[in-house]
Amino acid sequence: MKKLVGISGLSVYVPPYRVNLKDWCEWTNSPWDKTSSVVGHSFRMRGPHQSVYTMAATAVMRLISNYDIDPQKVGFLGLGTESSTDNSAGAVIVKGMLDQGLKSMGLMPIGRHCEVPEIKHACLGGIYALKHALRYLALEEEDRCAIVVSADIAEYARGSSGEPTQGAGAVAMLLENNPKMLSIDLKSIGSASSYRAVDFRKPVLRNIIRGTLNCHFQDLPVFNGKYSTTCYLDETLHALNDMLRRLRANPNDYYQSLTAAFMHRPYHKMPLDSFAISYLFGLANDESNGFSELEAHCRQANLDPEKVISEMKSSPDVLQLVRDGNIDDDVYPLSIKLLKEFRNSNIFKKLISSKMSLGLEPMKDIGNVYCAALPAWIAAGLEEAAQRGNELTNSNILAVGYGSGDAAESIPMKLVKGWESSALKIGFKEALMSFQTLTQLQYENLHDTGLAKGLTEPQEGFIIDSVGQNSNPGFSDEGIEYYRFVG
């Protein structure tokens, strides 16, 4: 009998140090109207005693507590991140903290026979870890569950275009056979990948040049905004096409059938544009029903439908923009013009905005959390739907993950019977309630040095207790973090 695998629970952790983007706009003379509409309202920063590992462990501890998970049944603990600071160990660091915390609470630790991989591919690492965990469950014959935690710290240089899109946080997912929230059609997940060179990178050489041993480490990316947007749109389109092929689904019919769609969210406006353009491309690939609607949209935008369709059916070489030194060019120029006009249509409001509305407002206060961005939006959306009492059992849900560099995954899911009970345990809004709004000086110091005066130490989860300083033949722990569970 075919196994049903998927998500049974979600939990969220964000650090308490909050930057209000309206304040940030005043500090930097940036337009608040544009920032609020394109980016959001606020973002979080990790504190002096926090790392990607402490945030990940805190999110998983919440998951175990909220869903009454038997730690001994966890056979897979995966970490998806691009913010790891150890090039050897990964998820096992999180497991070590969890074992320490569980024992201090008089509970059993996670079982010894547990896989502990760390997965890296920019913002897609958490979704790749999710796929690995689902495959693990599909093959596992014993009564086991899996946990995947996506955790990241998004930092950009002050004064850069990416500065308002910073963020930090972690989202943990409980995965099971016969899931209690979302079933995932594992065999129909669509994949796409293509090398993009200068899209968004974190070369080690750059960070070695920037810092020295034991100083404040900043993992600042090399990125090119307009080019990155082009890469995002192109790769997610290919992943969606692959999913539709696997589902043997008519594009227009599938988009119409969706109750909600969640996509990787580097900032508020990006996923809306991506989903809208994927809908338009779906019309171009639906000769029986989609052409007439697409032609109407083209005429509204004063564009030649045949030229637009021809462009949509082309296979542009995005990397060639880098080779030619034209990274500000669009590979789908007519489609982008069409998109701008399409945003003003009633169909956009009905089929795009409405399907991406769940959890949209609380997500404006979390910032860009890289690997955790898509799981966070799913968590926010399902919690909101459950609190509203929306009847969504058996509804089609779409999740599209993306990681710069580039790769994308398109995941078809369904809400199972009784999903509301699990969704009400998520605690997304509760996770946002504890915060300390930073002053300009606190923000700048925390950003530039990792330290700031007047910060309140986290009162829950795990923190860095100390960092090893020994470097000798008898015992060496230089740079190794030691952790403490604060309850």
In this prediction the pTM is 0.96
Structure tokens at 314: 């082309």
* Beta bridge mates, 414: 183, 396
Read off the DSSP letter of residue 282.
H
- The answer as to whether 401 is a domain residue is yes
Could you tell me if residue 467 is inside a domain?
Answer: yes
Query: Cα–Cα distance between 171 and 379 in angstroms, integer?
Result: 8
Instruction: Retrieve residue 27's tokens.
Output: 């500090």
Q: Is residue 84 part of a domain?
A: yes
Length of the chain: 487
Looking at residue 452, its amino acid is A
pLDDT of residue 213: 42
Quick one: pLDDT at residue 454? 97
Number of folded domains that form the chain:
1
Q: Amino acid identity, residue 431?
A: A
- Where do we find the tokens 């930097």? 28
Q: Give Cα 285 distance to the centre of its chain.
A: 28
Q: Which residue numbers in the chain have pLDDT < 70? A: 1, 205-216
pLDDT of residue 211: 44
- Residues spanned by the domain of 217: 5-225+369-485
For residue 103, the domain's CATH number is 3.40.47.10
Contact 385, 101 (CB under 8 A): no
Residues 482, 93: Cα–Cα separation, whole Å: 10
Question: Could you tell me if 486 and 460 are in contact, meaning their C-beta atoms sit under 8 angstroms apart?
Answer: yes
Asked, for residue 171, whether it belongs to a domain, the answer is yes
In a domain, 254, yes or no: no
What are the structure tokens assigned to 90, written together?
Answer: 């990964």
pLDDT confidence of residue 301:
96
Task: For residue 424, tell me if it sits in a domain.
Answer: yes
Residue 286 · residue 252 · CB < 8 Å:
yes
| Predicted local distance difference test score (pLDDT) of residue 343 | 94
* Torsion of the alpha carbons at 350, 287, 240 and 233, rounded to the nearest 10: -80
Does a structural domain hold residue 341?
no
For strands 5-13 and 167-177, give the pairing: antiparallel
- Listed residue (10, 17, 324, 344) closest to 180, CA to CA: 10
Neighbours of 250 (CB within 10 A): 17
Structural domain includes residue 88: yes
The pLDDT assigned to 212 comes to 44
Give the model confidence (pLDDT) of 432-486 as tens digits: 999 999 999 999 999 999 999 999 999 899 999 999 999 999 999 999 999 999 9
